[in-house]
């Protein structure tokens, strides 16, 4: 029994023909908050610019944890 649609020569089952571009910086401007710890965490977000999407989660979780810690530290003052 033959397949209904023939695959193009050289194509594989998972080949979609789409080749994504490399990660590129978004150059989103950041306004300093005046708190050096918060500013450092927000600057860390720029690390996601050079990562593919599957690497963003680790950066976001790290920044979120740092910002949560900074907020918790305000309660201790």
pTM for this entry: 0.64
Render pLDDT for 45-71 as a digit per residue (tens, 0 to 9): 989 888 888 999 999 999 999 999 999
* Domains held by the chain: number: 1
Q: Which residues of 35-73 are buried (b: 16+ CB within 10 A; e: fewer)?
A: eeeeeebbeebeebeeeeeeeeeebeeebeebeeeeeee
pLDDT band at 26 (very low <50, low <70, confident <90, very high): confident
For residue 22, tell me if it sits in a domain: no
Q: Identify whether the C-beta of residue 51 lies closer than 8 Å to the C-beta of residue 23.
A: yes
37-48 residue pLDDT tens: 999 999 999 898
In a domain, 46, yes or no: yes
> Domain range spanning residue 63?
36-76
């Amino acid at each position: 029994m033959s397949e209904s649609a023939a695959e193009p020569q050289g194509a594989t089952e998972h080949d979609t023909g789409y080749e994504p571009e490399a990660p590129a910086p978004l150059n989103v401007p950041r306004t300093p908050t005046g708190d050096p710890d918060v500013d450092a965490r927000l600057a860390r977000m720029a690390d996601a610019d050079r990562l593919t999407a599957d690497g963003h989660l680790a950066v976001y979780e790290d920044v979120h944890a740092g910002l949560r810690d900074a907020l918790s530290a305000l309660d201790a003052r």
